[in-house]
Amino acid sequence: MMKKGYVLAMLAIPLCLLLVIGLSRGQQQARGPSYALETQDMPVAEIGKLLERLGKEMQKNSSITVGGKTFPMTGKGGLEFFVNSRQPGSVGVGIEFGSGRTEISKKWRTYVAYLMGSRGGTPAELSDIVAKMGKTLASKGEFVIEDHSVALEGKTTAELRLMERTAERGMRPPYTLNLSVMFGEKEFPLPEDEEDAVEEEKRGDLKELAKQEMSDLDQEAIAKLFDSLSSDLKAGKVKVGEKSMDVGENIMFGVSHLVATDGSSDRIRVGFTFGDVPPRKRSTGPRYSKELFNEPMKKVGALMKRWGTEILETGGFKLEETEFKVKDFATYEIIASERGFSIELSYTEPKKE
């Protein structure tokens, strides 16, 4: 329920140096040797030497050695990388990569072939990237994102969509524009990470302001779309049909290439968010916090049963002497396994017509 989109997920990586090698997410127990290093007082030059050594070992030996242990680095791997300016003179770098994959898991509908972006970019910066993509497409018939490229082949459709977020979601700009180009033998499937956005739109938390859909496009027509978006960004505008808006000075953007796991279709997307971030409303209602250890599970079950009954009968629940009133609509996430159970729940005011 609370997945993050591909671009925003990348932009929200914690601002610290993170190096995780050969670990798979969600793995509950180690299947081999492991190693961890953390320091807050290491000369940057020494960090560079460590990364340089690891890089040379991967290329020469298809392995790395850390902490006296050798780890194989073979096959294909996943990479997440970011560089972010913090306060003056301070830069955060995050690196996470893994190895050993021989094929993409078929349990997913799509996978990320390449994604780059910026959480503190400008319209002019994105304009230059989009213009370069349009020129390369026109001359070579390829979409090029930095050192990654994919040829435009098969039936091609495009969508330009302007959205507004009407529900409060932290410090996120309210407007989003996506230019998506889908091509290949089949229709491009909806990525799992974007299912939440569909649900948000159904609830009214996201509202479509303008949309253009185009089909049976050739190379020249798509290149013109990129040129048009680049020109609009350079002028500080976004235009979708008759709808036109000012972008402002700062945006968050991403350029991605997603591929259907069956290899039947691809999607290139240029997306960015813009607009003034609404002030955060501080909660003034009641609060409660308590942590308990080694409690009987029957006591926990009785507590959850009581909460459910109280919510159904009174529209609220009570924790010791603290009373809480819930709203009409809920957003929740449930995670359960043999090791434990967790539920994250938030409730909102009903939508006003």
pLDDT band (50, 70, 90) for residue 7: very low
pLDDT at residue 62, rounded to an integer? 86
| CA dist 30 → 25, 33, 164, 250, 337 (Å) | 11, 7, 43, 43, 17
pLDDT at residue 349, rounded to an integer? 60
DSSP assignment of 225-241 equals HHHHHHHHHHTTEEEET
320, pLDDT greater than 60: yes
Please give the Cα distance from 108 to 120 (Å, whole number): 30
* 115, 10 Cβ separation under 8 angstroms: yes
Kind plus residue range of the DSSP H or E element containing 7: helix 6-11
| Position with higher pLDDT, 348 vs 288 | 288
Q: Which amino acid is at 347?
A: Y
- Rounded mean pLDDT of 98-105? 76
60, pLDDT greater than 80: yes
Helices (H) and strands (E) in the chain, counts: 6, 19
pTM of the model: 0.71
Quote the percentage of the chain above a pLDDT of 90. 42
pLDDT at residue 163, rounded to an integer? 95
pLDDT at residue 169, rounded to an integer? 58
Tens of pLDDT, residue by residue over 146-176, are 999 999 999 999 999 999 988 765 567 899 9
Residue partners of 18: CB distance under 8 A and separation at least 6: 94, 95, 96
